[in-house]
Amino acid sequence: MIALLSYPRHCLSTSRATPAGTQRSTGSSPANVQTVVDRVEEVGLTTHLSTGEERTIIGVVGLPLPPSLDDMFAVLPGVEQVVRVTKKFKLAGWDFQPRKTTITIDTLTIGGGDITVIAGPCSVETEAQTLETARAVADAGATVLRGGAFKPRTSPYEFRGLGERGLAILAQAREATGLKIITEVMTPADVEVVGQYTDIFQIGARNCQNYLLLEEVGKAMKPVMLKRGLSLLIEEWLLAAEYVMAQGNPDVILCERGIRTFETATRNTLDVSAVPVVQSLSHLPVFIDPSHAAGKREFVGALALAGIAAGADGLMIEVHPSPDHALSDGAQSLDVAEFNALMPRMAAVAGAVGRTLPAPASAGATASRG
């Protein structure tokens, strides 16, 4: 059993270790773990347990930390090592949780060996458009339907979504196809209503550092996809995830969607390196959104393949039955035929990097799923 103490930077101190292996088999007994947890709570701090096969890690967060805290834990039964974590992101980092996060929604697992494909329109426009897209992407092998009902638009005069009516259409599409749904929530006040419909909350790039919103979805206990802010450092992005996790919600997905650079040939610059860099720093699943990065449909496929090759755990791709008529982001939306053609190519790259892209459900099965 290891107690990890999270100290602020200026309190950096030594760690005390006993030889690895000592007391491993008996150290993490429930009674020993409970003793440490009780002690932590007595001094007004919070614990985060990570139970592995070999050892249990008890993360301790909170301030102020009594100066003698590490000595206090080191003598408790079963404690093998007390380590002070000075990294800023504690819950999102590997120290508190040394195994990759997998998120389970019914039969869907995100962050395992399978690559998850989220697909659908930028915006929910009509029932027919959403259902048609949902059926098409389900038949092609996507497992989550995307679609914005509350849309953050750069101009206030553009289509800003159908609101709750859009959420109801998404729920209808879930019923018809068995797909899970993801949709954006823009304000803390909307978390409740969006949570009544969605399976996954999407936090958009523009809201990645809206800390009150992050805390509200952190309390909602449904998975959260956190899109990287337009000019966010990876450390800032992980600290945004930390806001969600600090409220007790561990199910955060990070989505790289392109950052703003000097380049204007694409809408944003896809930071492919964010995939391995974030994975080296964090156990959270990392997705790629090639659509908002490219801004142009012709480049979406190449960026999707690059994301998978770099090790992404999933993709989010905009698909519209008639992109030229889309009310938002038509230029970067694939049509159904383009999406159908891309899926097997993504599966091939996934295979080359030791991942799998689940085979599509057979045509016709979609009608009975749900």
Give every CB contact of residue 90 below 8 A, 6+ residues apart in sequence. 4, 6, 59, 61, 96, 242
Q: Which of 329, 334, 335, 350 binds Mn ion (CB under 5 A)?
A: 329
In the bound state, the residue with its beta carbon closest to Mn ion is: 122
205 binds ligand PEP (CB under 6 A): yes
By rule CB under 5 A, what string of x and - marks binding of each residue 73-112 to Mn ion? Answer: ----------------------------------------
The stretch among 33-41, 133-141, 185-193, 198-206 that binds ligand PEP (CB under 6 A) is: 198-206
Q: Which of 227, 267, 320, 355 binds ligand PEP (CB under 6 A)?
A: 227
355 binds ligand PEP (CB under 6 A): no
Among 75, 3, 74, which Cα is nearest to 33's? 3
The distance of closest approach from Cβ of residue 108 to Mn ion in the complex, given in angstroms and rounded to an integer, is 22
CB 89 within 8 A of CB 238: yes
Residues 301 and 332: their CA atoms lie apart, in Å, by 11
Residues 124 and 202: their CA atoms lie apart, in Å, by 14
The distance of closest approach from Cβ of residue 161 to ligand PEP in the complex, given in angstroms and rounded to an integer, is 10
The stretch among 115-123, 131-139, 248-256, 259-267 that binds Mn ion (CB under 5 A) is: 115-123
Q: Which residue has the tokens 């519209």?
A: 320
> For residues 21-41, b (16+ Cβ closer than 10 Å) or e, as one string?
eebeeebbeeebbebbbebbe
The stretch among 52-60, 272-280, 323-331, 355-363 that binds Mn ion (CB under 5 A) is: 323-331
DSSP-assigned letter for residue 43: T
The distance of closest approach from Cβ of residue 273 to Mn ion in the complex, given in angstroms and rounded to an integer, is 23
By rule CB under 6 A, what string of x and - marks binding of each residue 148-187 to ligand PEP? Answer: x---x-----------------------------------
Q: Which of 59, 204, 250, 321 binds ligand PEP (CB under 6 A)?
A: 204
Among 273, 126, 147, 282, which Cα is nearest to 202's? 147
184 binds Mn ion (CB under 5 A): no
In a 3-state reduction of DSSP, which class is residue 364?
Answer: coil
Residues 105 and 96: their CA atoms lie apart, in Å, by 23
| Number of residues located near ligand PEP, criterion CB under 6 A | 9
Residues 315 and 142: their CA atoms lie apart, in Å, by 10
Q: Which residue has the tokens 């993801």?
A: 182
CB closer to ligand PEP, 1 vs 238: 238
The distance of closest approach from Cβ of residue 39 to ligand PEP in the complex, given in angstroms and rounded to an integer, is 43
- Please report, as residue ranges, which positions from 262 to 321 form the binding site for ligand PEP (by CB under 6 A): 292
- Two tokens, residue 341: 């053609």
Amino acid (one-letter) located at 251: D
Give every CB contact of residue 49 below 8 A, 6+ residues apart in sequence. 33, 37, 56, 57, 58, 59
Give every CB contact of residue 210 below 8 A, 6+ residues apart in sequence. 203
CB closer to ligand PEP, 48 vs 227: 227
Residues 202 and 217: their CA atoms lie apart, in Å, by 10
Among 106, 107, 108, 87, which Cα is nearest to 96's? 87
CA within 13 Å, CB half, 132: 13
The stretch among 103-111, 172-180, 200-208, 244-252 that binds ligand PEP (CB under 6 A) is: 200-208
Give every CB contact of residue 248 below 8 A, 6+ residues apart in sequence. 218, 219, 221
The distance of closest approach from Cβ of residue 329 to Mn ion in the complex, given in angstroms and rounded to an integer, is 4
The stretch among 3-11, 108-116, 189-197, 204-212 that binds ligand PEP (CB under 6 A) is: 204-212
The stretch among 3-11, 127-135, 328-336, 341-349 that binds Mn ion (CB under 5 A) is: 328-336
Q: Which of 36, 79, 103, 122 binds Mn ion (CB under 5 A)?
A: 122
DSSP-assigned letter for residue 363: T
The distance of closest approach from Cβ of residue 346 to ligand PEP in the complex, given in angstroms and rounded to an integer, is 19
Amino acid (one-letter) located at 309: A
Q: Which of 39, 55, 180, 257 binds ligand PEP (CB under 6 A)?
A: 257
Q: Which residues bind Mn ion (CB under 5 A)?
A: 122, 329
Q: Which residues bind ligand PEP (CB under 6 A)?
A: 122, 148, 152, 204-206, 227, 257, 292
